[in-house]
Amino acid sequence: MMSGFHGLFSFGGIVGAACITALLGAGASPLGASMSVVAVIMGALAVAAPHLLPYGGKNVGPVFALPHGVVLFIGTLSFMAFLAEGAMLDWSAVFLTSVRRMETAYAGLGYVTFSLTMTMGRLTGDGVVQRLGGTNIIVFGGLAAASGFALAALVPYWPMTLLGYALVGVGCANIVPVLYTSVGRQNAMPEYLAVPAITTLGYAGILAGPAAIGFVAHTASLSAAFMILALLELGVAVSGRFLRV
């Protein structure tokens, strides 16, 4: 079920961006549009509250622990997968305008392409994971994401760049859900410690990764930064062979 959960997360991002855009386009103020989102969230929480679990797992031990063993390995792969997402979020449009010379008005197509393929991949991902297995998902996903970054960086035509972004979305779609699932099958750390640990490492990729990409782009080029990302995602594919999922 993990891919479906992440798929709804991605779908929520698309719907939220579309709704805010529509409200602003209709003349709503930024504050009014934001408060509308708050109202929807509060309503959803009110509906969901009676169905939330009234209990949790037994938490015996510290509330936080440094990841070790296979949890550190999973967290590192999660970091590299989220790094790709952060790159698409912060740099896909910049690459299209500064390197591929696309009109600024259309640069958002890059993230839209990535986000749509990722969302579709996740919404259909539970069945795909069941058929192919978690290991193959990580291997094939890493290869697809690496190919996408390489295609975007090396082929000097913006339609091919968009195709590369689509490949990155397809490749990254189910890697993180499979990694989260694998946390429940390890014995190195209790789940209530392991899940926050890999989540922290993963979201560090979204936060720190784009800044590192900017540094590489400043010292070399954005194409070089994308090629480094391609190598990292290739590393995810290779490492997936050593993870039991």
What are the CA-CA distances from residue 48 to residues 11, 38, 45 (Å)? Answer: 18, 15, 5
Burial 128-160 (b: 16+ CB within 10 A, else e): bbeeeebbbbbbbbbbbbbbbbbbbbeeeebee
DSSP per-residue codes, 60-109? -S-S-----THHHHHHHHHHHHHHHHHHHHHHHHHHHHHTS---GGGTTH
pLDDT tens-place string over residues 171-185 = 999 999 999 988 888
Low-confidence ranges of the chain (pLDDT < 50): none
Give the pLDDT of residue 57: 59
pLDDT tens-place string over residues 185-200 = 888 888 888 888 888 9
Domains, in order of start, for the chain: 2-240 (1.20.1250.20)
